[in-house]
Chain A
Amino acid sequence: MLTLRRGEQLRARLNAACRRYLSVKAEPKAVTVADAEYTAEPEYPVIRDLSYKSRKLQTAAEWHEQIRQLPTVEEKMIKVNMPRYYGYKVVDLNDTKIPYNALPLTQHYTRTVLEELPTPQAKTEDKKDDLDATVKMARDDIIEALEYAHDVYKHQLQLMATPPDAVKREQQLTQIIVELVNRSALQVLSADYGHLNEVEIDYNPRHEAFWAVGGVDPPKNVVKSKEGRPWQKDDAHDSCDRLVQYTGQPYLALRHRHQLPTWKSPEESENLTLAQQLPRFKIDARTLGYSTKYQHAVNVPGYWPSANAPNFGMLSFQSRAHLQLRPKSCGERDDLEALHALAIQSSYAWLLAQANYHGFNTYNELTYPWNTQTVITNGREWSFYEYQLNTLLVHGAYVDTNPRVNFCRGTAPQPLYAEISTEGKCVDFNDNTLRQLLELYIRAPSIRRTADELLPYMGGPALRRAADYENAEQREFLEHTFKHLASKRPRHLELPEVYMWEKIYKIDNKTRALEARRRFFERDINPWRRTLDQHDKVYVPKAERPGGRKNREGRFKKTYYP
């Protein structure tokens, strides 16, 4: 194989030399239509690097380009999933588990610069503005909502036969509080701030996102396998990509038709030195306590792709109930960092999923920035974050070379009230926290873009979603496949299992030499390598067959995999 490549290289070099020689010898002639192929200046094809590594990179780049060229959201997502029938092995990031010291990993995986803001102080008398009047107006409503929520939940708890655990209790109470607070805030503010009349509210939406991260050390088996091949030996310790899937369920999310204004200019967002200063977590994420699982790449921002939906996230309320389960020995500082990590992960994932519905994904870079706001709360403590997504390219070499970075800024948690007294009254209500919460609502999504600017990688005005296809069969196929991937339902054909006796007597110790080798591990078949389209096609019964009962062409339904 080596000699063949060497031969190819030599031939390419010889061709180039011949061409150069011929073009030098040729007399310069007037260019006519007939010999338009001759130019005064010789134009040589690009000499491609034919080494194994660069050919691999070339194939990957071509695949990314193919994904970019696809016209619809659904097809792009299916294309990303094509290589695996049973799903990718992904690092499982979620909002229920933030292990100790997770912030460096989060910053590396999301390419995010974190700015910790100081807790804003209460305003003095002379600096009052019109928001104070609004806070004053909202104050009583919010206090009433808090007292009512606690009262309701106390009553609900009494009705339950077995009281739920602390995490569930916090989730249930906070859900009531957040819904009531959100309703009061919208009621108070919507008269003065028109954009709040147009927001879409998602209750407990699914926020999921998939992306690839580069710059992670290769696992041992990869190193070992590469070291066994002469043409990969030198690259055995090169960093490799890790696939990441975030799964979260906020209490509440608000969406709007327009985008939030950015708070970092494009010049500030492109800073290679800043990008290189970001923490790098090269070791396997499992050493921190994260787990891995197999699943399809899924991007869901809380709704299905649709043309005129409020597509841009404005505000999400995340749960911190599971942080109760962290060991007390983590310390206060790390608990704060866990909140930051949760905010970064959830904001990044939500924005990535939204961007995915606009044709961008982890392999196709954004053409304009995205912003969102995130609140993490347990009803009493509230922390506020803003996030600006500038880049999605974290995979492969981009982790070193991409000058763009994402930004997150936020505060430490602040109490909205001290406690609810035994009489059910709210004690020590904090106007300052309420003010910050209302500020998030007030920030109007003001950025409007033309459709061409918004959707540069889509098929044009007539073709952006699978629903736009004329061919009904294709439309249904894409819709069905896309939703099936997103449903995370197990595959119809389950993964073949290796039984323990087989591991002991067939794989680890070859004690059954005379038995026929029929199982997949004896026939060198890796079930994980099965691709998405490797399945039997759907049979069309004779009665329903297009072209009559005897038409053998239409026996099986067509597939439209991208």
Chain B
Amino acid sequence: MSTRWYPIYQRGNPQLRVFLPNFWMKLVRPTEEQPANVVTFAVSTEMTKYDVKNYLEKIYKLPVVDVRTRIALGETKRDQTYGYVTKKDDVKYAYVTMPKTEAFTFPDIFVNKAEKQEKEEKSLDESKAGFRRFLDRNKKRPGTPGWYSI
């Protein structure tokens, strides 16, 4: 993806120039259940079905049978302070059908999430308990700094 916009052609400029287009594709988890051979992407609204197909076939060497796209309206949101309405950008979704022999499951990126959270909570509990111990110890001598002890 290039960060440049394709410059508009002006008379006298060189004509045959190839820039990297502003194309991007983001794999997203489908909101509704789909056949195993269908993959959902959020793509740049400028990409056509053929762009999506070529992108996946030429760059990632994926077998693509068919591509269907739609443009979803961006969400609107009301400003909490001033009450004006703002809108997010529209997104194009591409539903890519692969051969029926293929199956795609959306990767579970947060497999260890629960485990990690448990570990974090454990350390938090430990520090809480330590602080409670400190409070208990200094109950009878309020205002004493933490280091004033054996």
Report A's interface with B, CB cutoff 8 A: 99-101, 217, 219-220, 283-284, 287-289, 327, 329-331, 334, 504-505, 508-509, 511
B147 → A minimal CB distance (Å): 56
> Which of B1-9, B13-21, B63-71, B115-123 lies at the binding interface?
B63-71
Contacts A283-B32, A511-B83 given; 15 further ones with Cβ under 8 A? Answer: A100-B97, A217-B33, A219-B32, A220-B31, A283-B34, A287-B34, A287-B35, A287-B38, A327-B65, A331-B65, A334-B100, A504-B87, A508-B76, A511-B78, A511-B85
Q: Which of A220, A289, A504, A511 contacts B68 (CB 8 A)?
A: A289
| Cβ distance B106 to chain A, nearest Cβ, rounded Å | 15
Of residues 29 to 43 in B, which have CB atoms within 8 Å of A's CB atoms? 31-35, 37-38
Q: Closest approach, in angstroms, between the C-beta of A326 and any C-beta of chain B?
A: 8
A288 touching B83, Cβ below 8 Å: no
Q: Chain B residues near A508 (CB, 8 Å)?
A: 76
CB closest chain-B residue, reference A330: B65
B130 at the A interface (CB under 8 A): no
A101 to chain B, nearest CB (A): 5
30 contacts between A and B (CB under 8 A): A99-B66, A100-B65, A100-B100, A101-B37, A101-B97, A101-B100, A217-B33, A219-B32, A220-B31, A220-B32, A283-B33, A283-B34, A283-B35, A284-B33, A287-B95, A288-B35, A289-B97, A327-B66, A329-B63, A329-B65, A329-B66, A330-B66, A331-B65, A504-B76, A504-B85, A508-B76, A509-B77, A509-B78, A509-B85, A511-B85
* Inter-chain contacts of B99 with A (CB < 8 A): 331
Q: How far is B8's CA from A343's CA once the two chains are assembled, in angstroms?
A: 52
- The answer to whether A329 touches B32 (Cβ under 8 A) is no
CB of B38, distance to nearest CB on chain A (Å) = 6
Residues from chain A with a CB closer than 8 A to the CB of B78 are: 509, 511
Instruction: Describe A's contact surface by its main secondary structure.
Output: loop
Q: Report yes or no: A509 in contact with B76, Cβ–Cβ below 8 A.
A: yes
Q: How large is the interface on B (under 10, 10 to 19, 20 to 34, 35 or more residues)?
A: 20 to 34
Using Cβ atoms and an 8 Å threshold, which residues of chain A touch B100? 100-101, 334
How far apart sit A99 and B85, CA to CA, in the bound complex (Å)? 40
A92 to chain B, nearest CB (A): 15
The distance in angstroms between the C-alpha atoms of A327 and B37, with both chains bound, is: 16
B85: which A residues are within 8 A, CB to CB?
Answer: 504-505, 509, 511
Instruction: Name which residue of chain B comes closest to A505, CB basis.
Output: B85
Q: Contact: B76 with A100, CB < 8 Å?
A: no
- Across the interface, name the chain A residue whose C-beta is closest to B79: A509
A327–B57 Cα gap in the complex (Å)?
14
CA distance A321 to B147 in the complex (A): 88
A329 to B37, CA, bound (A): 14
CA gap between A451 and B35 in the complex, in Å: 47
**List of A residues within 8 angstroms of B34 by Cβ:** 283, 287
Alpha-carbon gap, A289 to B85, bound state (A):
35
Contact residues, B91-150 vs A (CB, 8 A)? 95, 97, 99-100
A288–B64 CA distance with the chains assembled, in angstroms: 14
| Cα-based distance from A425 to B97 in the complex (angstroms) | 43
* Distance, CA A329 to CA B99, complexed state (A): 9
Evaluate contact between B35 and A101: CB separation under 8 angstroms.
yes
Given A101-B35, A288-B35, are A329 and B64 also a contact pair (CB < 8 Å)? yes
A238 smallest CB distance to B (angstroms)? 15
- Measured in the bound complex, the distance between the Cα atoms of B68 and A295 in whole Å is 24
* A505 shortest CB reach to chain B, Å: 7
Q: Of A284, A289, A504, which one neighbours B66 at CB under 8 angstroms?
A: A289
Chain B contacts for A505, CB-based, 8 A: 85
- Shortest beta-carbon contacts, A-B, top 9: A509-B78, A287-B34, A329-B65, A101-B100, A508-B76, A509-B85, A100-B66, A100-B65, A283-B33
**Given the complex of chains A and B, what is the CA–CA distance between A287 and B34 in angstroms?**
6
How far does the Cβ of B130 sit from chain A's closest Cβ, in whole Å? Answer: 43
Nearest CB of A to B33, in Å? 5
Closest chain-A Cβ to B65's Cβ sits at a distance in Å of 5
Residues on the B chain within 8 Å of A219, using CB: 32
Min CB gap A510→B, angstroms? 8
A283 CA to B37 CA in the complex, in Å? 13
In the bound assembly, the distance between CA atoms of A217 and B32 in angstroms comes to 11
